[in-house]
């Protein structure tokens, strides 16, 4: 399996997780980075991993986050992001054993794809539908496996923010599935020096 593809998918996980943290803690985020994550959910079939993220530059923030883990292991922000990523990996393992749920998610995304043609990828209606899909599927697992998002109550209680967080978690799971398909594993997660090295090389090309 290509280390480049695995690294890009892992960067996608990082980017989704960091945006979840930003929405929950600040209520703010970069719109372009957000749209990359949403588009990755809607891109069910692609010729390459790069295409899913609209090119290497699409996950630039995720690549930077991955590289930052070397020097910022004790950073509270990165610890929180890593916790979300671990939650995504755990949820993906549960999801992959539920073919009916996987099919339900795929059919739901195909329906939303048609709506994107009308509203646009970041329209509140689209984000709401993706959030609903997450709630109807991944949120139904036992509470032990659900991802608990921490943040400011004033941001978390806002319905639009809640929808964004759930849609980003769905994007994170999509990247996790892709990461697994490209050879990702718990061992790869724990010993990720090769991915960090590759991430640095990819950043140098941008």
Average of pLDDT values for 46-75?
83
Tell me the C-alpha distance between 156 and 168, whole Å: 14
| Domain extent for 101 | 3-204
CA distance 10 to 110: 24
Asked if the model's pLDDT at residue 202 lies above 60, the reply is: yes
Each residue's pLDDT tens digit, 8-52:
999 999 999 999 999 999 998 999 999 999 999 999 888 899 999
Reference 81, options 27, 135, 23; nearest CA is 23
**Residue for token digits 């990819």?**
202
Q: Report pLDDT digits (tens) over 102-129.
A: 999 999 999 999 999 899 999 999 999 9
Cβ atoms of 5 and 175 closer than 8 Å: no
**In this model, does residue 187 exceed pLDDT 90?**
no
State pLDDT tens for residues 149-161: 999 999 999 999 9
Reported confidence tier of residue 72, pLDDT bands at 50, 70, 90: very low
Residue 71 is predicted with a pLDDT of 45
Global model pTM greater than 0.75: yes
pLDDT surpasses 70 at 203: yes
Q: What is the CATH number of the domain that holds 36?
A: 1.10.3890.10
- Mean pLDDT over all residues of the chain? 92
pLDDT beyond 60 at 68: yes
Structure tokens at 141: 């697992």
**50 exposed, middle or buried (CB, 10 Å; 0-12, 13-18, 19+)?**
middle
Q: Could you tell me the sign of the dihedral formed by the alpha carbons of 126, 127, 131, 137, in that order? A: positive
Number of domains in the chain: 1
């Amino acid at each position: 399996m290509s280390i480049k593809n695995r690294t890009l998918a892992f960067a996608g996980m990082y980017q989704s997780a960091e945006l979840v943290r930003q929405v929950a803690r600040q209520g703010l985020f970069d719109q372009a980075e957000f749209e990359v994550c949403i588009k990755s959910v809607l891109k069910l079939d692609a010729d390459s991993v790069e295409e899913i993220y609209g090119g290497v530059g699409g996950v630039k923030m995720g690549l930077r986050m991955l590289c930052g883990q070397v020097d910022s292991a004790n950073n509270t922000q990165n610890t929180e992001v890593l916790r979300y990523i671990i939650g995504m990996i755990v949820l993906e393992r549960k999801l992959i054993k539920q073919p009916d749920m996987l099919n339900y998610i795929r059919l739901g995304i195909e329906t939303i794809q048609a709506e994107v043609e009308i509203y646009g990828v970041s329209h509140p209606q689209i984000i709401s539908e993706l959030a609903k899909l997450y709630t109807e599927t991944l949120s139904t697992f036992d509470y032990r496996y659900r991802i608990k998002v921490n943040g400011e109550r004033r941001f978390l209680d806002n319905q639009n923010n809640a929808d964004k967080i759930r849609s980003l978690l769905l994007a994170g799971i999509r990247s996790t599935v892709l990461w697994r398909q490209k050879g990702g594993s718990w061992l790869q997660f724990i010993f990720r020096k090769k991915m960090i090295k590759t991430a640095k090389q990819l950043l140098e090309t941008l």
